[in-house]
């Protein structure tokens, strides 16, 4: 595995098993092949203090379906869960392919599984701050637009704001990790720029009041990691 960037941790700390890492799996991200998921699961199990989580971001895919496939809310949700089914199968196959000692250290988590009172309150605070803070809205719009590239030119009025909601739902997890079955998953590993985005976000003056109000479970860190 190749470590490209870290935030609030070091390669040595991860190698020492100081964290409980998790991989957020975006449903339509073609990077997450069965082979890539297995590689992350093997790495995560070997480096976890207690456990490694494969977090399947299923329900949030409905936001992309609403924008890019013009699906109504109900149909968008139904399709999101159907789209998640093959990903869940890949995750189960990855866990089954691990040796027994590593298999016991990997869990598969769906988005609804991380929603507890702390996450729900933090989510409320994030959306409240987003509605009240023009700088926050501008930051999110710029970040999402950069990720979309030329696609942004084809969006309809309101689509960009809808797409921003995907990350808004994830911000409580980015900033605080999540609890599942008594374990705090506190190291977000991802083959992309989440580490850089989180670092940039916490450096913004407009974000400091929100971050100060958000509840948490303990220290969190990020790592941008790719399969060799």
Residue 203 has pLDDT above 90, yes or no: yes
Residues 125-160 have pLDDT tens digits of: 999 999 999 999 999 998 888 776 666 666 667 788
Q: How far is CA 110 from CA 2, 67, 94, 149, 180, in A?
A: 26, 22, 16, 29, 10
CATH number at residue 29: 3.40.50.11710
Check whether 113 has a pLDDT greater than 90: yes
Structural domain count of the chain: 1
Write down the mean pLDDT value for the chain.
92
Range of the domain at 147: 2-226
**pLDDT-based confidence at 200, cuts 50/70/90?**
very high
pLDDT level of residue 54 (50, 70, 90 thresholds): very high
pTM given for the model: 0.92
In the block, residue with structure tokens 């509605």? 131
Q: Would you call 29 helix, strand, or coil by DSSP? A: coil
- 63 pLDDT band (50/70/90 cuts)? confident
- Say how far apart CA 201 and CA 208 lie, in whole Å: 9
Mean pLDDT of 174-197: 95
The count of C-alpha atoms lying within 13 angstroms of the C-alpha of 112, restricted to the half-sphere facing its C-beta, is 4
- CA–CA gap between residue 167 and residue 49 (Å, rounded): 27
């Amino acid at each position: 595995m190749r470590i490209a960037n870290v935030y609030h941790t070091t390669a040595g700390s991860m190698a020492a098993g100081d964290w409980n890492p998790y991989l957020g799996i975006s449903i339509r991200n073609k990077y997450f092949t069965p082979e890539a998921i297995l590689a992350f699961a093997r790495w995560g199990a070997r480096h976890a203090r207690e456990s490694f989580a494969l977090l399947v971001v299923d329900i949030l895919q409905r936001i992309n379906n609403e924008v890019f496939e013009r699906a109504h809310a109900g149909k968008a949700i139904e399709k999101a869960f159907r789209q998640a089914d093959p990903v869940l199968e890949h995750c189960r196959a990855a866990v089954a392919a691990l040796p027994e000692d590593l298999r016991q250290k990997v869990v598969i988590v769906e988005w609804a599984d991380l929603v507890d009172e702390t996450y729900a309150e933090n989510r409320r605070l994030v959306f409240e701050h987003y509605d009240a803070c023009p700088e926050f809205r501008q930051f999110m719009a710029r970040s999402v637009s950069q990720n979309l590239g030329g696609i942004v030119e084809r969006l309809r009025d309101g689509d960009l704001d809808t797409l921003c909601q995907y990350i808004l739902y994830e911000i409580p997890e980015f900033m605080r990790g999540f609890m599942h079955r008594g374990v705090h998953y506190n190291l977000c590993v991802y083959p992309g720029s989440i580490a850089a985005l989180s670092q940039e976000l916490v450096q913004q003056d407009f974000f400091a009041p929100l971050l100060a109000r958000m509840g948490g479970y303990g220290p969190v860190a990020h790592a941008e990691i790719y399969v060799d």
